[in-house]
Amino acid sequence: MGPAAETPPSRRVRDWAESGVAALTGRPDGPPLVPPGDAATVGGSGRLLRTADGLAAVSCARPDDPALLGALICAEVDPADPWPAVTAWLASHSGAELADRAEMLGIAAAPVQPPTPPEPLPLAPPRSVDGLLVVDFGSLWAAPLCAHLLGLAGARVVKVETPSRPDGARRGNPGFYALLHGGHESVCLDPGRPADRAALSELVAAADVVVEASRPRALAGFGLDAEESVARGTTWVSITAAGRASGRVGFGDDVAAAAGLVARDADGPMFVGDAIADPLTGLAAAALACSADAPGRLIEVSMTDVVAATLTDSREASPTARQDGHRWVVDTENGVAEIVKPRTRPATGEAPELGRDTATVLRSLGIRTSGVSTL
């Protein structure tokens, strides 16, 4: 992931136009917008809101988020529409205060910062992952996309969930879930049960690659140790909002905006695409897991850093889209680029029901199933 400034402006504009993201960016009744940066070269639950000293991205995606937002502002909020109360509170409080409270409460919210691209991550030559066992603890989008791409490259992917916290994406669009999990195997284990906890530990010990997207203490609470796995030669891909040392929680929209990837028009700022930090991070994580130096390595993938790496410090204005017949286009130095709508990609197989393959997977790896709960 090299510095974004290497890409000519005309190429950046064309890549955004042809990516499908520009068609998803803009006002409902306005033209599509071309976002800043290089993200194309590689949603509805969040808001961009004014703080006393700038702008902040706040998500309200989980069932308990309205209550948490009420705790954040120390007031009751309407569970069906917490935004008026949150907006009023933010208007008189700083982004730093929001960040401190959000991290303490586990809310996906952060102030929007100027782009600060990190040092580029050098990629080693690629390795084959054909036949490797990938254990995926991820949920929603970024980590499952990483596992999905490894599966397309030939790896065996086992998705692990717990009875109390299945992947929230199961409640969403079935086609999207099937796209990310088609052809994978599903294991459901309860870390609160001794037999399940032991089976979980053995499953991780058998893995060539572990993919997870949680704060380090989450899997440590299951008795799993990333450093011990890495010492055995496992590739451990750790996806976080802002690094393993940070306690911040983040989703695709608020992380991207907080990192500086924000589109703007005369009426103000708006999110770029739909949770764009997730697919960018999933792609980056898969590329790193497929590198020759990945075995025996803890690969930290910060969503914030991935997004920041796509941005430049250029102040050049994005081109304005115009209509050409029935299509939207933008003018570049190298000609006209059509703004392409997103294209549907078919799933590669059936997505398994929760826990469908628990016993089968454990037996295939020589793990005892006696006393293990199965759905």
| pLDDT greater than 50 at residue 155 | yes
314 three-state secondary structure? coil
**pLDDT (average), residues 301-321:** 81
What pLDDT, on a 0 to 100 scale, did the predictor assign at position 143?
95
| pLDDT greater than 90 at residue 375 | no
* Non-local CB neighbours of 97 within 8 Å, separated by 6+ positions: none
Q: How many angstroms from the chain centroid is the CA of residue 105?
A: 20
b/e 312-322 (16+ beta carbons within 10 angstroms → b): beeeeebbebe
| pLDDT greater than 70 at residue 58 | yes
Comparing 71-85, 285-299, 329-343, 357-371, which segment has the lowest mean pLDDT? 329-343
Q: Residue 322 is which amino acid?
A: R
Distance between CA atoms of residues 290 and 287, nearest Å = 5
Cα torsion 170, 148, 250, 353 to 10°: value is 20
Q: Residue 28 is which amino acid?
A: P
| pLDDT greater than 70 at residue 44 | no
pLDDT tens digit string along 204-225?
999 999 999 988 888 888 889 9
Distance between CA atoms of residues 84 and 116, nearest Å = 31
Distance between CA atoms of residues 330 and 351, nearest Å = 39
Model-level pTM? 0.80
